[in-house]
Amino acid sequence: MKYLQKKGYEVIPVNPGMAGKEILGAKCYASLAEVPGPIDMVDIFRSSDAALEVTKDAIQRKDEKNIRVVWMQLGVRNEEARELCEANGVQVVMDRCPKIEFSRLFGELGWHGFNSGVISSKRRQVGRAPGAGSSQSAPTFSGLETRCVHSGTPPDANTGARAFPIYQTSGYVFEDVDDAASLFNLQSFGNIYGRLSNPTVAALEERICTLEGGRGATCTASGHAAQLVALFTLMGPGDHFVASKNLYGGSFNQFKKMQEKFGWTCTHVDVDDPSAVREALSHPRCKLLWVESLANPGGVISDIEMLSGLTKEAGVPLAVDNTMATPALCQPGAFGADLVVHSTTKFLSGNGTSLGGCVVDMGSFDWSSVPADKFPSLTQPEPGYHGLTFWESFGDLAFTTHAHTVGLRDLGPTMAPMNAFLTLLGTETLALRMDRHVENASKVATFLEAQPEVAWVSYAGLESSSYYTRAQKYLPRGAGSVFTFGLKGGYKAGVDFVENLHLVSHVANLGDSRSLALHPASTTHRQLSDEQRTAAGAGDDVIRLSIGLETAEDIISDMKHAFSKIVQV
């Protein structure tokens, strides 16, 4: 009530038990009939069962009072009331906090990277209700390329600058002591300190969240930091999680260190074996399943829809690393993923200039549907915020809010504003770049299949791939541009190949505009055992390629030269 009053709205309390008294300076009435003048919105704070009675009263008086909206507070749902509103032409909102939703429309939720759903070339009038020229009177824009360019970056509210600013600051000014207290208590939205939020980072969070179709997002200093924040939010000492055995080698190693340092345990399984996954998820302390949509470097494509069914049976969320595919090629949330993770360092940035990571919460997992002690960070009182319960206070924004206000606050892996700005520039061309990446990768993979030095090629875009059919379902625009092939000459041939490339760069990163090659066995996966490397698709003979945007014929010419330099043993 106080929040909406601050924004210039007249809020009139209705409560028979307090009729005649004043609440925050407003007279309280016994019924809607007694309220003088028109009523734009009826906001229901009562229980779900009581919502129908209030709704019936609102519908009865909708013409007399000009009632246009019936709003049921966070945690309040009544399907009969919803049907009644829809049948009578009254807009209905259920299970939503007005403060959160109005902040979203005011442009204030950007501090947490929430998906506003708003794309507009008009300035956001921060702190004021949208005017006639606002996005509320505009059509909806939802094309992939449009979202890549516009999501999260309206014109600057203060200056009108069309390019989004770099907010290179560590601190933010409070209006007064009450304003500061409200922010620190998470009772209102705004920036507190640079470790928790930054407007430039928030713009990137909203863009990635919008591209994935999520509810909220948290950007971090690196992809590994994103993994840490995601797990930190859900796990406690003694807890367990299940992960694919086809993971990036760095993730294997990070998960191993987490087990040693944090008291967590992890089981790696073949995610193509439903019975093995189901058995692993039955662990009594299991908190989630972690997979990659398109595995790095093995090229394994996870059957996300099948895995989502298994995690729903087990009552745990499904986390999908979508780094290699990007939302331009695959949207895991559409197939049932609850969390989507990225290393923004790769294709989202696209130019190899800036580290970063991101965790997108799809808002699809009901944290209250499981015992309260299963995810205590979200469903039990948080001592650091005077006993606030994130799920009760923020609903399907609970995970993202906790990730910022606890995860980033206490772990500190915050993304730098400059890196966010550079990644925003990269995402503007994501859809166009991924089309070219896929086109070039397909040409190179076809070339490699015909070379006598090559034993095999693992690229899901080839009809010879065992994942070709699955790729048509999950990656209809193409199977990405990171893939592997095997050299008949084994380890030595792999070393000779990468050392004789002159256009393709021998580097450890990927997702660059430049073509890149790596021999994982001697670099990124060397810390793993032979069995782990083989399971991850990084055996001695393996070369990982990240095909860039150059002329395909030049990439192929460079590889022909490298093949000619392989010393036969």
Which pLDDT belongs to residue 8? Answer: 74
Is residue 70 a contact partner of residue 85, using CB atoms and an 8 Å limit?
Answer: yes
| pLDDT above 90 for 77 | no
| pLDDT above 60 for 132 | no
Residue 293 to residue 323: CA distance in whole angstroms: 8
Residue 354 to residue 342: CA distance in whole angstroms: 13
Write the CATH number of the domain with boundaries 102-426: 3.40.640.10
Is residue 213 a contact partner of residue 333, using CB atoms and an 8 Å limit?
Answer: yes
Residue 16 CB neighbour total at 10 angstroms:
9
Tens digits of residue pLDDT in 15-52? 888 888 888 788 999 889 999 989 989 998 888 898 99
| pLDDT above 90 for 415 | yes
Is residue 493 a contact partner of residue 453, using CB atoms and an 8 Å limit?
Answer: yes
Tens digits of residue pLDDT in 174-223? 989 988 888 888 888 889 999 999 999 999 999 999 999 999 999 999 99
| pLDDT above 50 for 129 | no
What are the residue ranges spanned by the domains of the chain? Answer: 2-96, 102-426, 436-564
Which pLDDT belongs to residue 353? Answer: 93
Residue 479 to residue 441: CA distance in whole angstroms: 9
| pLDDT above 50 for 461 | yes
DSSP 458-496: E-TTSTTSTTHHHHHHH-TT---SEEEEEETTHHHHHHH
Q: What is the DSSP pairing of strand 216-220 with strand 357-361?
A: antiparallel
Which pLDDT belongs to residue 17? Answer: 85
Q: Which amino acid is present at 492?
A: K
Please state which architecture CATH assigns to domain 2-96.
3-Layer(aba) Sandwich (3.40)
Lowest mean pLDDT among 207-216, 245-254, 334-343: 245-254
Of 525, 530, 516, 522, which is closest to residue 495 (Cα–Cα)?
522
DSSP 149-184: HHTT-PPPTTT--SSPP----SB---SSHHHHHHHH
Reported as a pLDDT band with limits 50, 70 and 90, residue 266 is: very high
Which pLDDT belongs to residue 188? Answer: 80
Q: What are phi and psi of 160, to 5 degrees?
A: 80, 5
**Percentage of residues in the chain with pLDDT exceeding 70?**
93
| pLDDT above 80 for 130 | no
Is residue 243 a contact partner of residue 266, using CB atoms and an 8 Å limit?
Answer: yes
Reported as a pLDDT band with limits 50, 70 and 90, residue 114 is: confident
Evaluate whether the domain defined by 436-564 bears CATH number 3.90.1150.10: yes
Burial classification of residue 507, based on how many CB atoms lie within 10 Å of its CB (0-12 exposed, 13-18 middle, 19 or more buried) = middle
Specify the higher pLDDT residue, 328 or 250: 328
Specify the higher pLDDT residue, 183 or 262: 262
Which positions ≥6 away from 557 have C-beta within 8 Å? 503
Residue 110 to residue 117: CA distance in whole angstroms: 11
Which pLDDT belongs to residue 447? Answer: 98
Q: What is the mean pLDDT of the chain?
A: 91
Q: What are phi and psi of 509, to 5 degrees?
A: -85, 180
| pLDDT above 60 for 312 | yes
Name the strand (E) or helix (H) holding 531.
helix 530-535
